[in-house]
Amino acid sequence: MVLKKYNINPDLALERQKCTFDIEEIINIFDGGKEKTSQRRKIEDVVLKSGLCHDDVPEECMSLKERYENAVRKSCFFSKLMKTELQEITGIEDFETPAIRRIADALFKDISPFLLHLGMFVPTIIGQCTSEQLMIWLPKALDLQIIGGYAQTELGHGTFIRGLETTATYDADTEEFVLHTPTLTAHKWWAGGLGKTINHCIVVAQLYTKGVCYGTHLFMVQIRDLDTHMPLPGIKVGEIGPRMGFSSADNGFLGFNNFRIPRNNMLMKHAQVQKDGTYVKPARHGKLTYQTMVFVRVTLVNEAAFNLSKAVTIAVRYSAVRRQSEMRPNEPEPQILDYPTQQHKLFIGIATAHAFQLTANWLWNTFKSVLSDMKKGDVGTLPELHALSSCLKAVCTSDAALLIEQCRYACGGHGYMLSSNLPYIYSFVAATRTYEGDYTILLLQTARFLVKAWEQAEAGKTVTPTVSYISRSLKGEKNSWRSTDEGIIKSFQAVAAGKIALCVKSIRDRMKSGLDYEDAWLLTTVQLVDAAEAHCRSVILETYCNEVRRLTKSSSDNVKIVMHQLVTLYLSYWTLQRTGDLLRYSSISEKDIDFMQRQYEELLQHIRPNAVALVDAFDLRDEILHSSLGAYDGRVYERLMEQAENNPMNAEPVNQSFHKYIKPLLQGKL
Ligand SMILES: CCCCCCCCCCCCCCCCCCC/C=C/C(=O)SCCNC(=O)CCNC(=O)[C@H](O)C(C)(C)COP(=O)(O)OP(=O)(O)OC[C@H]1O[C@@H](n2cnc3c(N)ncnc32)[C@H](O)[C@@H]1OP(=O)(O)O
Ligand SMILES: Cc1cc2nc3c(=O)[nH]c(=O)nc-3n(C[C@H](O)[C@H](O)[C@H](O)COP(=O)(O)OP(=O)(O)OC[C@H]3O[C@@H](n4cnc5c(N)ncnc54)[C@H](O)[C@@H]3O)c2cc1C
């Protein structure tokens, strides 16, 4: 749609006059510097001027088939743009640059069928191929001569990778692997792009050679003819059907009937099958084939932050424009943003978007540093990265989904309109809580690491920095509540330590009463999930505080003030959410809680004048927001009416169903 130009709504104009800080300063902080901001804006200009974002009818009014075809069209032209103009004009060659990710949303209100190509296919080639394999597939994949996906999940198994049923059996006579789908439940299910778009696929299958099963490994498989796009003989492939979201992409199913691929199509960076069928196991770590999942989990923390920033921008701008009810008899209707309960719903969204974005950046740097250790042959830092990326992916996607839904509630009935974009943002983020490792499963992975860390600390060994609070707790350090940043973080660490201690105790007590370790663990899993969540909270709180302090060192005082107000709001909010835990594991008193409640309510008032400016500082263009409620000019009612008038349902005054059914019904002739 072409966005009509309106004058700024006067309420929003006034809000912007109240701003106490330089918005550009905050924008630069989140972009990573002035230069990065200007580079991002340049990329956005190129894409927006390309005309690619235009749809003749609103996407939500298209059929599923039309939506898919429209998204393919845009993906192809966008890919061309990335290879040509974007590279030439901005000098950017890296597809994963956050700027490309952001502007992609101007093209796709839902998602691109090419997402998995860039999000998982290319990263798997980079992380799992030998240098010879890399030279064959990477240039083709980057140049989009081949388009791929990642087919791991099956109809019967997603979480439990070791339970996957697809087999890849090595035939030494022909030096080929035979891929086979032995049962109904062994069919690959869900892979993005698989339904209709891709011609290649990374397939995860149980490797058999010389009659022995060596567990799951990765294989590069061509599934469609490059010219006709017909499925190759021995391949059964299709689309799995309509979903809650992801409607403009094609999630697929895939079955193999003794389908042969060359030996060299096993991705052999870590494990190999030699020509005679001899298996060479990975030298360093058994789970290196899971690396792409770790990469995506890291990027999903960024997705949580970005999508939450979109939702809260929409809801705050709308709340500044919307007037409803009265605070005192006969007074004019206030902006709904003036209600403390509305501020309570929304300001935590702004603070959380900051917290998650800074945590995402920190996690990305940790990921890069672990990769560089691994390149040198050191896999010692991988378990901590796995534990961190697992819990942060789980908690950030889950919190973001809840807060996005809260933004929708904050917009009342209009938030329910697809044109608000809130339902799209929600359904996208809701899926991220499940895919790439379900919430519970990933927290249990972190819990495993925490219990081990506890045992190591008990044995007097040094533990990694993110769990050093465990050693302090074991040494008997008592928590004394202080309502400072550091004090609150320490108390949250005391909560995590207390919960881990109880888990360890429960497991041991259950074992003493005769259970084996597996059963004792299983019966403790409710507590273990809780402990891992508590650990994750302490990591986010600490990272957020540290990063704000570091990044605002040379900022103006006004930016320091407002960024720190958000940090304090975040700390107070979580303190009040977790009073039960804090009363149990820290020395917080009822008086302290009263103080925190008052502080929280005062902060809402302090932040109120800057609320619109703070969401403006996410610097999200209208074309990215796609929202009738959240546009920069605040012309909510004009846009809602515009959308209604453009609704294809209104193209004819009388729908044909009247003549076919209603009239005969009215006349008793049906
Ligand atoms: C042209 C237009 C384009 C526009 C687009 C714009 C471009 C932008 C591009 C970038 C975008 C980025 C966004 C990306 C979005 C991508 C969309 C993704 C869609 C979804 C994809 C998927 O879902 S793929 C499938 C994912 N599946 C899972 O995650 C399954 C979850 N299950 C597991 O991970 C495992 O089964 C398990 C961990 C639960 C258990 O595994 P297993 O049984 O094998 O292990 P154990 O439990 O026995 O543990 C043994 C031991 O190993 C450790 N461990 C486990 N996992 C790991 C790991 N990953 N790394 C390291 N170590 C691991 C575990 O902790 C144990 O350790 P111990 O020391 O023994 O305790
Ligand atoms: C939109 C979308 C896109 C996707 N894209 C892809 C893709 O491109 N490629 C791909 O391979 N896959 C993809 N997936 C699949 C996704 O990775 C899986 O759905 C996800 O990993 C969860 O696995 P599952 O569906 O088997 O859930 P299940 O494991 O069946 O989970 C169901 C419930 O059981 C619980 N549960 C399971 N095991 C345990 C346990 N051990 N302990 C306690 N509770 C347990 C879970 O917590 C959950 O509540 C996609 C999924 C979605 C929704």
SS (H, E, C) 226-246: CCCCCECCCEEEEECCCCCCC
Whose alpha carbon is nearest atom 40 of ligand 1? 160
Spatial CB neighbours of 578, under 8 Å, sequence gap ≥ 6: 492, 495, 537
Which of 126, 217, 110, 103 is CA-nearest to residue 166?
217
Beta bridge partners of 203: 151, 219
Closest CA to 71 of 38, 36, 114: 114
Q: How far is the CA of 434 from the centre of ligand 2 (A)?
A: 6
User: For residue 436, which atom of ligand 2 is closest to its CA?
Assistant: 17
282 three-class SS: coil
116 lines ligand 2 (CB under 6 A): yes
SS3 at position 256: strand
Considering every ligand atom shown, identify the ligand nearest to the alpha carbon of residue 148 and give its number. 2
Tokens of 615: 């969401």
Q: Catalytic site residues?
A: 436
Instruction: Identify the H or E element spanning 450.
Output: helix 439-458
Residue 168 exposure: Cα atoms within 13 Å on the Cβ side: 27
Phi, psi of 404 (to 5 degrees): -65, -40
Q: Is the CB of 157 under 6 A from ligand 1?
A: no
C-beta 606 within 6 A of ligand 1? no
Per the CB < 8 A criterion, the answer to whether 253 and 237 are in contact is yes
CB burial of 568-598 (b: ≥16 within 10 Å; e: otherwise) equals: bbbbbbbbeebeebbeebbebeeebbeebee
In short, whether 435's Cβ falls inside 6 Å of ligand 1 is yes
The reply, when asked if residue 209 is annotated as ligand binding, is no
- Give the per-residue pLDDT at 150: 98
Owner of token pair 């809580």: 433
Burial 407-445 (b: 16+ CB within 10 A, else e): bbebbeebbebbbbbbbbbbbbbbbbbebbbebeebbbb
Phi-psi region of 243 (alpha: psi -120 to 50; beta: other; left: phi over 0): beta
Cα of 484 vs centre of ligand 1, distance in Å, is: 36
412 is in an annotated binding site: no
Residue ranges of the chain with pLDDT lower than 70? 1-3, 89-96
**35 membership: H or E segment, kind and range:** helix 34-49
The token pair that represents 151 in the structure block: 């087919």
User: pLDDT tens digits, residue range 136-184?
Assistant: 999 999 999 999 999 999 999 999 999 999 999 999 999 999 999 999 9
Mind listing the pLDDT tens digit for each residue in 269-307? 999 999 999 999 988 777 888 999 999 999 999 999 999
Closest ligand to C-alpha of residue 434 is: 2
- Summarize pLDDT for 564-586 with one digit per residue, the tens: 999 999 999 999 999 999 999 99
Does the structure's ipTM exceed the value 0.90?
yes
- Look at the pTM and tell me if it is higher than 0.90: yes
